[in-house]
Amino acid sequence: MTTRLDRITPILNWLAVGLVIICLFMIFFYAPNERNMGNVQRILYFHVGSAWVALITFLVALYAGIRYLRRPSRDWDTVAMASVEIGVIFTTITIISGSVWAKPAWNTWWVWSPRLTLIVVMWLTYVAYFMLRNAIEDEDKRRRFAAIYVILAFVTVILTFASIRILRDIHPVIVGPVAEAAQGVAQGEQDFAPGLAARMRLVLYGVATPTFIVIYAAWLANRMRLQRMIDQTTALKARVVARLQHG
Amino acid sequence: MPVNAPSGLSGFWQVVWAIIRKDLAAERRTWQILSVMLVFSLTAVVVFSFGLGAAGLNPNSALARDAAPGFLWATILLAGTLGLNRSLTAEQENHSLDALLMAPVDRSAIYLGKVGSASLFTLTMEAIVVPAFVIFYNQPFWRPQVLGIIFLATIGYVATGIMVSSMSSQARMREALLPVLLLPLSLPLVLSAATAVSAYLQPVPPNWADVQFPIAVVIAFDILMLTAGFLLYHYVVEE
């Protein structure tokens, strides 16, 4: 029995592989060299790309959680769980790549600036999601609680996003209002030879971020497919046991 | 409890009040929640002082002064998890929650009742701990603005805590699970409340413009978490 998911998964897998190869090539050979930081700046493509995907996964998880509470279904629970799982991994990539960049740029691995605070709160909140899931045996209850928690977690992330304006930021702004972006350039954190900044943006938003989004989609499809296989196997097992007992 | 098929708005508050009274009566007979919270929080005050070394043992040192608001929040949060754990675990162990759910009452009223009683316990604990901080750290924590912020943040913390502990009390290793879930969820609240409290502890009172934003976040947290609990609590307790 082939479902639509079975057909779409291999396509997404190959698309992801192809895009990753193109993406790596563009990051290392096409993207411009930054004046102050040199090659270290190329971390940005991984850093920003995975940060965007992490945000998208948590939004998807929130949506799936709400859908699950309105009408419980195995699929929405799997979407939420897989999205949080993938989101935590991309958040980890963002934190580690940022830290590696910060050491040469700021001469420290970590500062409690707003964006860094936000991402560490996000990471902690969503890692706890798995603690909750693992601690509940009853399956219906586990899915229901996970859906509730995903909603609460999102409220926290939104409020953290609001509250961190209290803190002073030294994180460079490459997306956002012109004044802030200009300030980022003035701080010397992103400085390209004339005309090359457009190339940086092309690699970042035209290639790297879409690649990471396709990786997410492929990963999610594989996770869904795996969940359905597990369900099918469990159902088949139950049938075999029933047959043996009554046969 | 004299609650006969409550209906309408007054019936709703009757249920909330009945649950608060029930928890207060249980506490008056056992003292198990307040005693644990109080002893823990006083121990925490002492441990934090020792943790700072010689500077912490001198309440007038700059280090002790700067660290005091942070220690106060750490103490409130940790003692709070102890109280929240007991509040819901006792309901589970005695199967009194099942009995409560059999009553034909709104689940949101049960939620607000639990938030009410747990807030009262936490505020009582704070009524002892805040003076202890005044004494041991020589800081003006008694200023009305500071007390107001502590009050608002406590409501938000307990509102989140009742949601989370109602879930964690139904799980394995429930005592350990609550802080892992609750503390990250409370971080925006702590960050804002601690910032505002520090500002009001300074010798010169801060401009309203400097503190209005953190205070607004605390209030927004209270409203959002109470609303989330109000809307979602029946999913937490339904069988």
pLDDT (tens digit per residue) in A35-72: 777 888 888 889 988 988 999 999 999 999 999 999 99
CA atoms within 13 A of residue B4's CA, in its CB half-sphere: 1
Distance from CA of B25 to the nearest CA of A (A): 30
* Pick among B191, B223, B224 to test the A interface (most A CBs inside 10 A): B191
Q: Is B142 on the interface with A (CB under 8 A)?
A: no
Gap from A34 CA to chain B (nearest CA, Å): 36
Number of domains in chain A: 1
3-state secondary structure of A34: strand
Residue A188 binned pLDDT confidence (cut-offs 50, 70, 90)? very low
Task: Please determine, for the modelled complex, whether the ipTM score is greater than 0.85.
Answer: yes
Helix (H, G, I), strand (E, B) or coil at A38: strand
CB contact under 8 A, A132 and B168: yes
* Backbone φ and ψ of A72, nearest 5°: -60, 125
- Summarised one tens digit per residue, pLDDT across range A91-146 is 999 999 999 988 888 888 888 877 788 889 899 999 999 999 999 999 899 999 99
pLDDT band at A186 (very low <50, low <70, confident <90, very high): very low
pLDDT at B191 over 90: no
**Contact state of A162 with B220 under an 8 Å Cβ cutoff:** yes
Report chain A residues whose CB lies below 8 A from the CB of B160: 152
pLDDT of A175 over the 60 cut:
no
The predicted pLDDT at position A185 comes to 47
Name A38's bridge partners. Answer: A34
Per-residue CA distances from A158 to B74, B82, B144 (Å) = 22, 27, 29
Confidence of residue B30 (pLDDT cuts 50, 70, 90): confident
- For residues A208 and A42, give the distance between their C-alpha atoms in angstroms, rounded to a whole number: 11
Mean pLDDT of chain B: 88
Any A CB within 8 A of B1 CB: no
Report the percent of chain B where pLDDT is more than 70.
97
C-alpha span between B95 and B164 (Å, rounded)? 18
List residues of chain A with CB under 8 Å from any CB of chain B: 69, 117, 121, 124-125, 128, 131-132, 135-137, 141, 144-145, 147-149, 151-153, 155-156, 159-160, 162-166
Domain membership of residue A24 (yes or no) is no
Q: For the segment B104-140, what is each residue's pLDDT rounded down to a tens digit?
A: 888 999 999 999 999 999 999 999 999 999 988 888 8
Compute the distance between CA of residue B217 and CA of residue A163 in angstroms, rounded to an integer.
Answer: 6
Q: What is the pLDDT of residues B36-78, one digit of tens each?
A: 999 999 999 888 888 887 777 777 788 888 888 889 999 999 9
Asked whether residue A139 is assigned to any structural domain, the reply reads: yes
Length of chain A: 247
Average pLDDT, chain A: 86
CA dist A87 and A147 (Å) reads: 16
Work out the burial of residue B21: count CB atoms within 10 Å of its CB; fewer than 13 is exposed, 13-18 middle, 19 or more buried.
middle
Residue A17 lies in a domain: no
Indicate whether A73 belongs to any domain. Answer: yes
Contact B188 A137 (CB under 8 A): no
CB A58 within 8 A of CB A126: yes
SS3 category, B31: coil
Share of chain A above pLDDT 90, in %: 49
What is the C-alpha separation between B186 and B81, in angstroms, rounded?
11
In whole angstroms, give the CA distance from residue B40 to residue B75: 8
B217 touches chain A (CB under 8 A): yes
Domain hosting residue A227, numbered range: 29-246
Helix (H) or strand (E) holding A230, with range, is helix A209-246
Residue with the larger pLDDT of the pair A157 and B130: B130
Q: How many CB atoms lie within 10 A of CB A104?
A: 13
Within a domain: A90: yes
Q: Which chain A residue shows the shortest CA-CA distance from B215?
A: A163
Subunit contact B228:A166, Cβ cutoff 8 A = no
Confidence of residue B1 (pLDDT cuts 50, 70, 90): very low
Work out the number of other CB atoms within 10 angstroms of the CB of residue B48. Answer: 21
Question: Tokens 């009995």 belong to which residue?
Answer: B99
A109 closest CA partner among A123, A91, A97: A97
| A136:B171 CB<8 A | yes
Cα gap A188→A186, rounded to integer Å: 5
pTM, two decimals, is: 0.86
Write down the pLDDT at residue A164. 65
pLDDT of A208 over the 50 cut: yes
Beta carbons within 10 angstroms of residue B77's beta carbon: 19
